[in-house]
Amino acid sequence: QKEVEQNSGPLSVPEGAIASLNCTYSDRGSQSFFWYRQYSGKSPELIMFIYSNGDKEDGRFTAQLNKASQYVSLLIRDSQPSDSATYLCAVTHHFGNEKLTFGTGTRLTIIP
């Protein structure tokens, strides 16, 4: 069983709609959770991190964490064509551990 699982997609969402990306993890002790965006041929770019259960909002992005169910999600409101990218979920197993375990990513396409 993979430690961090994501649906590889592609996920197609109309422009202006909400894109919902999901990630599950197997280690119940995981502490820190991250979302990276990666455009084709480019490096991963950190867009959100969350440590506590609940929601964290930053502009059009909302990260949601549910430790009891072991999932973390990313919502993108008012999706734009520039949001088309692969989104990587990553977790650390202990706070301050620093080593990230990545999922394989979900490819998101925003349809104009």
Furthest C-alpha separation in the chain: 41
Q: Looking at 10-18, 19-27, 57-65, 90-98, which segment touches another protein (CB under 8 A)?
A: 90-98
Whole-number Å distance between alpha carbons of 9 and 17? 17
If binding is defined by CB under 8 A, does position 46 make contact with another protein?
A: yes
Q: What is each CA distance from 85 to 7, 34, 54, 65, 67, in whole angstroms?
A: 14, 16, 25, 22, 26
Stretch that binds another protein, among 18-26, 57-65, 67-75, 93-101 (CB under 8 A): 93-101
Query: Does 72 help bind another protein (rule: CB under 8 A)?
Result: no
Task: Please say which residue, 1 or 112, places its beta carbon nearer to another protein.
Answer: 1
36 touches 85 (CB < 8 A): no
Of residues 65 and 90, the one with the C-beta less far from another protein: 90
* Residues contributing to the site for another protein (CB under 8 A): 31-32, 34, 36, 42-46, 49, 88, 90, 92, 95-100, 102-105
